[in-house]
């Protein structure tokens, strides 16, 4: 277990004794049980675990869309009280783009919510779209874009306010295998260029190991952290790496834990 130290760097994510119990009518579900971890600023961390272990519940807490039953959650030393897209960007499993807005207007949306001037909005949206490689597709509507492109727009929308942390909830799960690999490399490129902290929830072990500095393994419900694995594989990472002995060894170790969790 990690010991908590007060780190003041922007982009540090601190989670302390987080517990969440859902109540709906008579039924209560113990989703998360006493979770603690710290993510140093600028690191890429994945969260994996068996289906229904509360990975997504954890992410909803991290982005301020849900309230924990007890425990504390701080980003850059400040507690998270609600959605705060200027500090924490979010990308969901589905791109969730507004179908009536063009790609550019979708990226501008969080800026418009904050009443930013049109000119500033346009500049920031252009930069974000360029970063994800879609500067030429700004005027397209979501239904005119492929699944991968839609998810890129969604990433651009998540980072348009230059947040310190980017939280991603199985962002590539709805994409096909090949697009998924390409998007993984894209994400690493964006991450390396911007130096943001990334919290990446996924059910793909290969994806988690391939992308991350650290992998957090959650147990079956109620979710507890049962392992934290440092991935010391060299960067930049390439596809061949996924078939190396070391990679496979890590994957087997995590699989063993999830299977018996």
Partner 1 sequence: MVCPTAKTTRRIIVLILLACWELLPRLGVIPSLFLPPLTLTAAALFSEFSVYWQHLLVTLQEVGAALFFACGGGILCGMLLGSSTRLRRLLLPVVSSAYAIPLVVLYPLFTAWFGIGMQSKVVFASVYGFLPTLLGAAAGIQTIDRSLMMTARSMGASPVQQIRYVLLPATMPTVLSSLRIGGALVIVGVVVSEMLTSTAGIGFLISRYRTMLDSPRVFAAILLVLMLAILFDLLVQFAERRFTGWKKNVPAKTFP
What residues make contact with partner 1 under the rule CB under 8 A?
A: 63-65, 82-86, 90, 92, 94, 96, 98-101, 109-110, 112-114, 141-143, 157
Least distance CB 22 / partner 1 (angstroms): 16
**Helical axes 147-159 vs 118-131, angle rounded to 10°:** 130
Q: Which H or E element spans position 168?
A: strand 165-169
Closest to partner 1 by CB, 103 vs 229, is 103
Residue 35 DSSP label: E
Least distance CB 213 / partner 1 (angstroms): 25
Residue 4 DSSP label: P
Q: Which alpha helices (DSSP H) does 17-66 contain, by range?
A: 55-62
Least distance CB 206 / partner 1 (angstroms): 27
Least distance CB 100 / partner 1 (angstroms): 4
Alpha-carbon gap, residue 181 to 174, rounded angstroms: 13
Closest to partner 1 by CB, 94 vs 213, is 94
Least distance CB 104 / partner 1 (angstroms): 13
Closest to partner 1 by CB, 79 vs 83, is 83
Place of tokens 């113990």: 30
Closest to partner 1 by CB, 157 vs 237, is 157
Closest to partner 1 by CB, 174 vs 220, is 174
Least distance CB 186 / partner 1 (angstroms): 21
Closest to partner 1 by CB, 92 vs 200, is 92
CB 126 within 8 A of CB 138: yes
CB 179 within 8 A of CB 148: yes
Evaluate the CA torsion angle 179, 192, 195, 55 in order and state its sign. Answer: positive
**Phi, psi dihedral angles at 189 (to 5 degrees):** -60, -45
Give the contacts of 16 (CB within 8 A, at least 6 positions apart): 4, 36, 71, 72, 73, 74
Least distance CB 4 / partner 1 (angstroms): 27
Tokens (6 digits) for 24: 């709906």
Closest to partner 1 by CB, 98 vs 239, is 98
Closest to partner 1 by CB, 26 vs 240, is 26
Q: Which alpha helices (DSSP H) does the chain contain, by range?
A: 55-62, 103-113, 118-131, 147-159, 177-194, 205-211, 245-260
Least distance CB 25 / partner 1 (angstroms): 14
CA atoms within 13 A on the CB side of 100: 0
């Amino acid at each position: 277990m990690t010991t908590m130290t007060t780190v003041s760097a922007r982009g540090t994510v601190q989670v302390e004794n987080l517990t969440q119990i859902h109540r709906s009518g008579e039924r209560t579900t113990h989703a998360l049980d006493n979770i603690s971890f710290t993510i140093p600023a600028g690191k890429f961390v994945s969260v994996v675990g068996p289906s229904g272990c509360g990975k997504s519940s954890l992410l909803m807490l991290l982005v301020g869309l849900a309230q924990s039953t007890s425990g504390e959650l701080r980003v850059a030393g400040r507690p998270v009280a609600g959605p705060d897209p200027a500090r924490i960007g979010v990308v969901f499993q589905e791109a969730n783009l507004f179908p009536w807005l063009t790609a550019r207007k979708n990226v501008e949306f969080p800026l418009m919510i904050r009443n930013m001037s049109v000119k500033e909005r346009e500049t920031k949206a252009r930069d974000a779209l360029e970063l994800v490689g879609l500067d030429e597709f700004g005027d397209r509507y979501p239904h005119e874009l492929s699944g991968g492109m839609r998810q890129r727009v969604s990433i651009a929308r998540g980072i348009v306010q230059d947040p310190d942390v980017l939280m991603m909830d199985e962002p590539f799960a709805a994409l096909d295998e090949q697009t998924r690999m390409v998007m993984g490399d894209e994400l690493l490129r964006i991450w390396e260029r911007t130096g943001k902290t990334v919290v990446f929830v996924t059910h793909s072990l290969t994806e988690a190991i391939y992308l991350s500095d650290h992998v957090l393994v959650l147990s079956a419900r109620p979710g507890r952290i049962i392992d934290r694995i440092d991935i010391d594989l060299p960067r930049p990472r390439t596809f061949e790496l996924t078939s190396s002995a070391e990679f496979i060894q890590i994957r087997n170790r995590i699989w063993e834990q999830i299977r018996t969790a």
